[in-house]
Structure 1
Amino acid sequence: MNADPHSELEAARRELDQVREQLVNASRMAALGSLLASIIHEINTPVGSILSNNETMLRSVDTVQKALTPVAAESKELARAGRLLEMMRGLAEVDKLACERIASVVRGLKTFARADDARPRAADLHELIGNTLKLVGCEYRRRVNVVTEFGDLPEIECYPQRLSQVLLNILVNAGQAIEGEGTVTVTTALEGGRVRISIADTGHGIPPELMPKLFSGFTTKPMGVGTGLGLSISKQIIDEHGGTIDVDSEAGSGTVFHIRIPVEQAGTERAPQNSERKDPS
């Protein structure tokens, strides 16, 4: 029985539209990376100046306090000056913490700003996850509690920017799936020659009718909230890593995404690893 040419044409058109959207998204990501690199530079420069000036002010406050302490009891004015200096120290410490928070977020942005090499490179998976969690902080605000359960992992060979995009897509979806307060749990484990990343949320779950076409694009987003291509692109990126991505979900009971990728990518050589590993936090 011959296939309906109109149906075949419509299917080809839908596939072409999806590919075109993926290419547009890739182009936007490249442009975003370039824009982020410029923004990072513009943020780092004043933040660096503020931190430097802040350190100078703290040292100056220390110097004045040491000189004032022996004579502070001699008059009310000197005692009041001592209290003002202590208040200035407290404000300066708060400013320092705020600037360090900004610097921490900017470091997370660098993962997305840099262009990947033509070949995979070694990366600390927990560092990638940590940087991405910093970026979704605005999405989660204080209503979503994040729990991390990290296993003992070696460095993995991957395309860090692309893998970070996958993590960002799933973590943002997890936050959007939670109405009100809830929890997102990120778990990692070593399974033979692969690492597993599981991202679980306590959200509303995925309707059964969407599960078979979850990674095909244009299926999960309500009108006006993105294109729905995030999971389709995520699967493509994980496929490029030689890995798998699957999901367990039940409407009303939350969702768990499982990502598995090889520790080593085919055709690459691993450099000797340093015996000391960075703290994933």
Structure 2
Amino acid sequence: IEGKPIGVIQILNKRDGNFDKHDMAVTEIMAVLPATAIENARLYEALRLAVVTKMLGDISHDIKNMLTPVMTTAQTLQLMFDGLVEDLSALREASTDESELWKRVEDALAPFREFFYEGIEMILDGATSIQERVREIADCVKGIVAEPRFELYDVTDVAQKVLKALRPVADRQGVELRLERRTDVPKIWVDPKRLYNAIYNLVNNAIPETPAGGSVTVCLYFVNGDEPFPDGNYLMIEVADTGRGMPQWVKERLFTERAVSTKPGGTGLGTRIVKNVVDAHGGVITVESEEGKGTTFFMKLPMEPPGLKEQLEREQREEEKQRE
């Protein structure tokens, strides 16, 4: 098409004699038809991707704008509550009344104060995380794909942040969230933001699958002298629930493009996101599940991910440039 090869057609073994100019002319006509169909399919796919890209750009822009009043309101509420607490404290100090009233006010305010600050912090942290993800979408629309940014990090902190963010959701479902460490957990090189997304997706998926009274447990432990990594050392992250489990056909599709969600409104993207994060760390993810007995995901992360050496060398060169 327009001088560019689209594909190849090979014709062999003419019954009578050799191929002649007439045969060549017929072959060219035959070749044009599938070539045109292939090119049209490519153009259609390019058009479809262009529409999707534009839509993603518009959506990311709208989400960013919608988050601004959410964050501003949360910050304003925090300031207003700080002012209320200060005013009550000032009134208490100025008052000569030693009745039970002030004590009852303080007792009533104490748990509300703790929950309020935690709630505001969760709102702001969640909104900030959404903004960062929206920024990644906007970068993808521009053709910019961010590489993982590895840091020597305590994975326990990542797991604690995930459970803190999802505890209100779990409490409403009557599901207990647990964090266990079977061994000392050393710091390893990870991209903390991406790893947060991976653990968050697994725990968030597990909560609605777990009946009231059940639990979702994140377990961390260090493995020394085992496969599948060259040095035999890795960090294991297990996310286990006491939920309904999953059928074999769902399990087989979990980490593929054919992944499906069994939840109302689910997209099936969660486990693929997790797989992409684990792959970026050079790790391995597997799953064990039995219907009626729950599900456990196993994420094995090496101590040093691929690309770490190049990242550290690049950062060193940048530091040297800044010192010049």
Same structural fold, with TM-score higher than 0.5 when normalized by the shorter chain = yes
Of residues 290, 296, 303, the one that matches 1:263 is: 303
**1:175 aligns to 2:207 (yes or no):** yes
Mapped pair 1:130 → 2:155: no
Deviation at 1:206, TM superposition (A): 1.4
Q: Is contact 1:112–1:161 with CA below 8 Å preserved after alignment?
A: no
- 2:189 aligned residue (142, 149, 157): 157
Check if 1:191 corresponds to 2:223: yes
Q: CA deviation at 1:245?
A: 1.0
Q: Is the Cα contact below 8 Å between 1:195 and 1:263 reproduced in 2?
A: yes
Structure 2 partner of 1:50: 81
Of 117, 120, 126, which aligns to 2:149? 120
Alignment equivalent of 1:214, drawn from 254, 257, 266: 254
Q: 1:140 aligns with which of 170, 173, 188?
A: 170
Q: Which residue of 2 aligns with 1:84?
A: 101
Q: Displacement, 1:177?
A: 1.5
Q: Structure 1 residue 254: deviation in Å?
A: 0.7
1:221/1:227 contact within 8 Å kept: yes
Which residue among 68, 74, 95 is the counterpart of 2:112?
95
Residue by residue, what CA displacement relative to the aligned partner does 1:221-277 show, whole Å, maximum 9, x if unpaired?
237421112112210121011111111111111111011222333324499xxxxxx
Number of equivalenced pairs: 242
Find out whether 1:240 has 2:280 as its counterpart. Answer: yes
1:40 equivalenced with 2:57 (yes/no)? no
Please list the CA deviations of residues 143-199 of structure 1 after superposition, one character each: whole Å capped at 9, or x if unmatched: 111221124323333222222221121111111211333111110012244221101
Amino acid aligned to 2:295: T
Q: Which has the higher contact order (CA 8 A, sep 6+)?
A: 1
Tell me the distance in 2 between the aligned counterparts of 1:140 and 1:23: 35
Higher deviation after alignment, 39-48 or 122-131: 39-48
Partner amino acid, structure 1, of 2:149: P
Separation (CA, whole Å) in 1 of partners of 2:201 and 2:209: 12
Contact 2:159 2:179 (8 Å CA) reproduced? no
1:225 corresponds in structure 2 to 265
Deviation, structure 1 residue 24: 10
Structure 2: give runs of 5+ residues left out of the alignment.
Answer: 1-33, 137-145, 225-232, 316-324
Q: 1:212 to 1:158 in 2, by over 3 A?
A: same
Distance 2:78 2:166 in 1: 21
The offset of 1:26, in angstroms, is 8.8
TM-score normalised by L of structure 2: 0.62
**Paired letter, 1:178:** T
Q: RMSD in angstroms over aligned alpha carbons?
A: 3.6
Query: 1:103-124 CA deviation, whole Å, 9 max, x = no partner?
Result: 3424642455446875524233
Q: C-alpha distance in 2, partners of 1:263/1:30? A: 37
Normalised TM-score (structure 1): 0.71
Could you list the per-position Cα deviations for residues 60-87 of structure 1 after superposition, in whole angstroms to 9, with x for gaps in the alignment?
31452xx444xxxxxxxxxxxx222222
Q: Secondary structure at the match of 1:165?
A: helix
Opposite residue 87 of structure 1, the aligned amino acid is R
For residue 216 of structure 1, report the CA deviation from its aligned partner: 1.4
Shift in alpha-carbon separation, 1:242–1:25, aligned structure 2, 3 A? farther
In 2, Cα distance between the equivalents of 1:112 and 1:136?
Answer: 15
Unmatched runs of 5 consecutive residues or more in structure 1: 70-81, 272-281
Q: Residues 24 and 178 (structure 1 numbering): CA distance in 2 closer, same or farther, change over 3 Å?
A: farther
Tell which deviates more after alignment, 38-47 or 223-232.
Answer: 38-47
Deviating more after overlay: 112-121 vs 186-195: 112-121
Give the structure 2 partner of residue 276 of structure 1: none
